[in-house]
């Protein structure tokens, strides 16, 4: 017979089949039977409900579970459905008998116990045939048909995509693309794939690590959809997101695909940036994004305490070998460093290996408000998609874009009438800008003028919903915004959609203790969630590991104000290259220092 399986967290209520549902599966196994892949923990039980695809189907079944530990099976007594049939009221239970056993609904509690050897547990549960079936065995109760609201996402797997070891496979070479699913209305959603290749779908809870493909895995499916494509049914909630990984049944397959989601409300499908697999034995792993280098730095990494000057360092001036109070900086994937030369109203570029002279790539025509000029710029980033620079032209109250093509003589205004200080860009190429006049951060789509408030905006103050002179920004892969809350001497993290921020560094008043910051500026967050902060008046770079809000550690500097190789004279911007080397804009020493990772 054609079985259908549902997996629930506690409790399972037969009268409310959508509540607590994790996944529903039809034909992922052999001969029209279900197959569910799930992650179990020792602290949580799950409920497996066995039913059939067609109403009134009956027959025997056997459940096999394969995993790293033995699972214990016990009957689960669910809240019965009472249905009146003429003069008879019937409740559906899970009583086992020794007679021939029709399936109505069997609910089984699955609990893991720690074990040292792999175990396989087989169990049969038998129930008496009832004249009245519970509603959960009707497919329309738990699936969403094409009459639901449709959302879609089109993409293609190419040889340029990352590959991983697909679940249920012992080899690498499966190209994949990860998609984040969110919705504004909780409920059951059907996820279908359309493609000319044999696709395979994997669904994860909250996050996906290619290096650990079974971690947080909820379900997988191969051919439950049409034409050898996957079909997944999931309970999406408004409080958490799921990650859909589109890959293939066979390794090294490529081709276009379209994901279609049906449900009670429109689903939001956006690219999900993964932490890449390490391919060498070096200490850092790197992925180049459209707007920055994302670096995985070991939590115990150390850096040389003496920096090397890679730009400037020849006193204040406007010659091509000089800088004048550098502010923000950006390190490209080839270690080219783009520097905001604040006092010279220009953006300079220093190529790797050439520490003698830089090149003017924007501005440099004196202080002014012409399209060929800048006025006290403060921050810059590279938009790799368009090959251009996005610049916070603070003195002119605008954000401008300059092409990196040779021969460019002027920029274009993207956003105006804003007292900007910091700029950042996410994977979808939204621009984030801090505004020190309104004490807020806004997100802009290219071409948009008003933007969306993402942090602050509740007047100047030190409350969790407030900022006071927000300067530098960093946006992580989950679109959380990190803000240097300069005058509050703290760094705030605003999760996407949050009304309040979280203090992730400082916040203990101005000072030089390890619990304190003094007017923080430049920020960087690696893929482990470790935060790096340019601690302006303390002349040091601090590191806060994820979850440690109380105290940071000094990784370079902290040796007092000075011009030595191990000193700073107030520092502003910081960044890392793909190897994990640290770059710092040493403001009053008119130089940029590089500290090599050890």
Angstrom distance (rounded) from CA 492 to CA 255? 42
Give the pLDDT confidence score for residue 279 in this predicted structure. 34
Q: Is residue 225 part of a domain?
A: yes
The contacts of residue 515 (CB under 8 Å, 6+ apart) are 506, 508, 550, 551, 552
- Give backbone dihedrals phi and psi of 172, rounded to 5 degrees, phi first: -90, 180
Instruction: Please give the structure tokens belonging to residue 438.
Output: 């309104």
The CATH number covering residue 374 comes to 2.120.10.30
Specify if 99 maps to a domain. Answer: yes
Residue 277 lies in a domain: no
Whether residue 20 sits in one domain with residue 133: yes
**Spatial contact of 54 and 2, defined as CB atoms under 8 Å apart:** yes
Q: How far apart (Å, rounded) are the C-alpha atoms in residues 233 and 578? A: 39
Residue among 261, 285, 287, 253 nearest 273 (CA): 287
- Same domain, yes or no, for 261 and 198? yes
Is the CB of residue 55 less than 8 Å from the CB of residue 49? Answer: no
The predicted model scores a pTM of 0.55
pLDDT at 170: 59
Residue 289 lies in a domain: no
339 burial via Cβ count (<10 Å: 0-12, 13-18, 19+): buried
Q: Using alpha carbons only, what angle is made at residue 310 by residues 528 and 536, rounded to the nearest 5 degrees?
A: 60
Per-residue HEC secondary structure of 392-411 comes to: EEHHHCEEEEEECCCCCCCC
Is 486 a member of any domain?
yes
- Residue 286, domain member (yes or no): no
- Residue finishing a domain among 114, 141, 168: 141
> In the chain, how many domains are there?
3
Q: How far is CA 516 from CA 48, 238, 275, 598, in A?
A: 51, 36, 31, 26
Are residues 459 and 516 both part of a single domain? yes
Same-domain pairing of 130 and 157: no
The verdict on 129 and 186 lying in the same domain is no
User: If you count DSSP H runs as helices and E runs as strands, how many of each does the chain have, helices first?
Assistant: 0, 46
- 155, 136: one domain: no
322 and 381 within one domain: yes
Look at the alpha carbons of 547, 553, 557, 558 in this order and tell me if their dihedral is positive or negative: positive
- Find the farthest-apart pair of alpha carbons in the chain and give their distance in angstroms, rounded: 98
* Regions of the chain short of the pLDDT cut 70: 15-16, 41-44, 68-70, 72, 74, 76-147, 168-172, 273-294, 547-549
The whole-angstrom separation of Cα 291 and Cα 387 is 10
Question: Can you read off the two tokens belonging to residue 526?
Answer: 């690696």
> Mind listing the pLDDT tens digit for each residue in 331-344?
988 889 999 999 99
**pLDDT for the residue 13:** 75
Same domain as 513, residue 487: yes
How far apart, in whole angstroms, are the C-alpha atoms of residue 11 and residue 421?
Answer: 51
181 and 94 fall within a common domain: no
What pLDDT is recorded for position 291? 54
Asked if residue 81 is part of any domain, the answer here is yes
Edge-to-edge order in the sheet of strand 359-363: 326-331, 337-341, 346-350, 359-363
Q: Give the integer Cα–Cα distance in Å for 388 and 373.
A: 16
pLDDT at 169: 67
The Cβ of residue 155 has, within 10 Å, a number of other Cβ atoms equal to 16
Token pair belonging to 350: 């220093």
Same domain? 201 vs 126: no
The answer to whether the CB of 7 falls within 8 A of the CB of 17 is no
Structural domain ending residue among the three candidates 141, 167, 186: 141
Pick from 141, 157, 183: which residue ends a domain?
141
pLDDT recorded at residue 66:
77
Residue labelled with tokens 């996906």: 208
- Could you tell me if 418 and 538 lie in one domain? yes
Q: Could you tell me if residue 258 is inside a domain?
A: yes
Name the H helices within 258-340.
none
**What confidence score (pLDDT) does residue 147 get?**
54
The three-class DSSP label of residue 266 is coil
**Predicted pLDDT of residue 70:** 65
Q: Please give the helix or strand (H or E) that residue 461 lies within, else none.
A: none
- Domain harbouring 184, CATH code: 2.60.120.380
Q: Which pLDDT belongs to residue 46?
A: 80
User: Do 198 and 88 fall within a single domain?
Assistant: no
Please state whether the peptide bond connecting residue 11 to the residue before it is cis, i.e. omega within 30 degrees of 0. Answer: yes
**Domain of residue 97, residue span:** 3-141
Q: Residue 522: what pLDDT?
A: 96
Q: Which residues pair with 470 in a beta bridge?
A: 485
């Amino acid at each position: 017979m054609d079985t259908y399986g549902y997996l629930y967290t506690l409790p399972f209520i037969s009268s409310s089949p959508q509540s607590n549902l994790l996944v529903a599966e039809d034909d992922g196994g052999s001969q029209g039977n279900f197959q569910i892949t799930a992650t179990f923990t020792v602290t949580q039980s799950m409920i497996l409900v066995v039913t059939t695809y067609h109403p009134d189907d009956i027959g025997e079944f056997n459940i096999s579970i394969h995993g790293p530990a033995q699972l214990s099976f016990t009957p689960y007594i669910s809240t019965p459905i009472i249905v009146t049939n003429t003069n008879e009221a019937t409740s559906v239970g899970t009583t086992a008998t020794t007679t021939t056993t029709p399936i109505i609904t069997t609910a089984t509690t699955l609990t893991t116990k720690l074990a040292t050897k792999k175990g396989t547990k087989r169990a049969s549960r038998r129930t008496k045939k009832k004249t009245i079936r519970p509603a959960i065995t009707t497919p329309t109760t738990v699936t969403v048909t094409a009459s639901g609201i449709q959302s879609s996402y089109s993409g293609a797997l190419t040889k340029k995509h990352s590959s991983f070891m697909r679940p249920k496979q012992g080899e690498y070479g499966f190209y994949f693309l990860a998609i984040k699913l969110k919705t504004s209305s909780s409920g059951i959603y059907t996820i279908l794939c359309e493609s000319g290749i044999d696709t395979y779908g994997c669904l994860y809870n909250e996050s996906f690590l290619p290096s650990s493909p079974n971690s947080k895995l909820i379900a997988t499916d191969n051919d439950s959809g049409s034409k050898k494509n996957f079909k997944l049914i999931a309970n999406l909630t408004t409080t958490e997101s799921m990650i859909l990984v589109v890959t293939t049944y066979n390794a090294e397959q490529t081709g276009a695909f379209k994901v279609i989601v049906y449900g009670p409300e429109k689903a939001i499908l956006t690219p999900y940036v993964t932490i890449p697999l390490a391919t060498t034995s070096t200490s850092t792993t790197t992925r180049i994004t459209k707007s920055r280098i994302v670096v995985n730095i070991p939590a115990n990494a150390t850096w040389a305490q003496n920096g090397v000057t890679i730009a400037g360092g020849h006193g204040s001036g406007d010659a091509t070998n000089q800088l004048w109070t550098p502010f923000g900086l950006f390190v490209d994937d080839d270690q080219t460093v783009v520097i905001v030369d604040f006092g010279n109203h220009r953006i300079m570029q220093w190529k790797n290996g050439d520490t003698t002279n830089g090149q003017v790539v924007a501005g440099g025509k004196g202080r002014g408000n012409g399209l060929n000029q800048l006025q006290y710029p403060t921050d810059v980033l590279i938009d790799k998609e368009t090959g251009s620079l996005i610049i916070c032209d603070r003195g002119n109250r605008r954000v401008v874009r300059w092409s990196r093509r040779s021969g460019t003589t002027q920029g274009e205004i993207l956003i105006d009438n804003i007292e900007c200080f910091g700029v950042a860009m996410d994977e979808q190429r939204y621009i984030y800008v801090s505004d020190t006049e309104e004490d807020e951060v806004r997100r802009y789509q290219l071409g948009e003028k008003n933007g969306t408030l993402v942090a602050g905006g509740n007047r100047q103050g030190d409350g969790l919903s407030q900022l006071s002179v927000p300067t530098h920004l960093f946006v992580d892969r989950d679109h959380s915004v990190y803000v240097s809350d300069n005058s509050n001497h703290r760094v705030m993290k605003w999760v996407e959609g949050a009304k309040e921020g979280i203090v992730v560094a400082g916040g203990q008043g101005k000072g030089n203790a390890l619990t304190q910051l003094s007017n923080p500026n430049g920020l960087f967050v690696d893929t482990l969630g470790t935060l790096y902060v340019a601690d302006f008046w303390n002349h040091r770079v601090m590191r806060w590991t994820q979850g440690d809000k109380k105290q940071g550690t000094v990784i370079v500097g902290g040796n007092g104000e000075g011009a030595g190789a191990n000193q700073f004279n107030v520092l502003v911007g910081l960044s890392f290259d793909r190897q994990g080397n640290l770059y710092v804009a040493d403001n009053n020493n008119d130089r940029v220092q590089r500290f090599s990772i050890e």
